[in-house]
């Protein structure tokens, strides 16, 4: 029998992760990391959220982080139901950084001129409602275009952006991502930092928490997708599947008896 408490990627598991992070590291935003120069805390964590699906689940993770005094960075796509000014401003008000999760090269099917124009417009949309200093590319896995390639032709610094979450961060960071529902999953094609070598590994969130508590790492760069941590939906689906199995078993029994 599947026990809800044993499931990974639930809100409760996220809370445990935040608790371990807050006990062992100073959290800084990507913007703070990039502006710190040599002034970085001795032990720090970067909590980065890529908001790929609806905006709403990110409110829940942002509130939990606030509870633990964690300052995270939230990258929002400029899409309907994701670019939601009220939610973005509430999260910024909690002390988190807001960034732009861009995808204009894949959106424009590789038309660089169109892509950079769209990028500029979307940067303005964000600046109308919040402070914007950093960006992260959306890994549009179904597109043949890699959104980072935009910066082979243009420079994001021309738009007042100080860094890109994949391209501008040092190779000495210990990188973990929940993409593929395992922390060092090989399932994700583009969600990695080119050229860097991973020294520490974790499969489940419990593994990651253990690693955090061990104190072995000086730093952590954790990328999460808030909509993957919605325990209520998951619970609902779980019960739905159980009910379905239960009902078809009942039906089969009835038919056998006839
Ligand atoms: Zn994304």
| Alpha carbons 217 and 43: distance in angstroms, whole number | 8
Specify the pLDDT at position 178: 85
Which residue carries 């979450």 as its tokens?
Answer: 165
Residue of 114, 55, 136 whose CA lies nearest to 90:
55
Provide the residue-wise pLDDT of the chain in tens; the chain has 258 residues.
Answer: 555 566 778 888 999 999 999 999 999 999 999 999 889 999 999 999 999 989 999 999 999 999 999 999 999 999 999 999 999 999 999 999 999 999 999 999 999 999 999 999 999 999 999 999 999 999 877 789 999 999 999 999 999 999 999 999 977 899 898 876 678 755 444 455 555 567 788 888 999 999 999 999 999 999 999 887 866 665 556 655 665 676 677 667 667 766
Ligand 1 centroid to Cα of residue 102, in Å, is 8
Ligand 1 centroid to Cα of residue 158, in Å, is 23
Please report, to the nearest 10 degrees, the dihedral formed by the alpha carbons of residues 132, 230, 52, 243 taken in order. Answer: -170
Q: How many C-beta atoms lie closer than 10 Å to residue 44's C-beta?
A: 18
Sequence-ordered list of residues with C-beta below 8 angstroms from that of 188, at least 6 positions apart, any chain: 139, 141, 177, 179, 180
Residue of 61, 28, 42 whose CA lies nearest to 169:
28
Q: Which two tokens stand for residue 7?
A: 């499931």
Residue ranges of alpha helices (H) inside 85-226 are 85-93, 104-107, 112-127, 150-153, 205-214
Ligand 1 centroid to Cα of residue 214, in Å, is 30
Query: Which domains, and CATH codes, for the chain?
Result: 8-232 (3.20.20.370)
Ligand 1 centroid to Cα of residue 75, in Å, is 8
SS3 18: helix
Ligand 1 centroid to Cα of residue 2, in Å, is 30
Residues by chain with Cβ below 5 Å of ion ligand 1 = 50, 52, 138
Ligand 1 centroid to Cα of residue 179, in Å, is 10
Which residue carries 């179904």 as its tokens?
Answer: 142
Strand partners, 38: none
């Amino acid at each position: 029998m599947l026990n809800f408490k044993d499931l990974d990627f639930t809100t409760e598991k996220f809370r445990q992760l935040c608790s371990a992070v807050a006990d062992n590291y100073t959290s800084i935003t990507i913007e703070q990391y990039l502006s710190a120069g040599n002034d970085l805390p001795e032990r720090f964590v970067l909590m980065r959220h890529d908001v790929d699906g609806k905006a709403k689940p990110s409110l829940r993770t942002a509130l939990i982080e606030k509870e633990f005094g964690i300052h995270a960075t939230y990258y929002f796509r400029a899409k309907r139901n994701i670019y939601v000014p009220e939610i973005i401003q509430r999260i910024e008000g909690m002390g988190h950084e807001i960034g732009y999760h861009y995808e204009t090269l894949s959106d424009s099917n590789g038309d660089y001129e169109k892509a950079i124009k769209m990028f500029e417009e979307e940067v303005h949309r964000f600046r109308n409602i919040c402070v914007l200093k950093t960006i992260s590319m959306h890994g549009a896995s179904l597109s043949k275009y890699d959104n980072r390639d935009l910066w082979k032709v243009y420079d994001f610094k021309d738009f007042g952006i100080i860094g890109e979450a994949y391209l501008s961060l040092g190779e000495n960071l210990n990188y973990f991502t929940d993409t593929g529902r395992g922390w060092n999953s090989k399932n994700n094609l583009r969600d990695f930092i080119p050229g860097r070598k991973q020294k520490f590994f974790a499969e489940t969130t419990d593994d990651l928490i253990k690693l955090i508590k061990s104190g072995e790492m000086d730093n952590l760069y954790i990328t999460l997708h808030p909509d993957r941590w919605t325990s209520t939906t998951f619970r609902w689906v779980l019960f739905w599947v159980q009910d379905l199995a239960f009902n078809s078993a009942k039906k089969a029994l009835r038919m056998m008896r006839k």
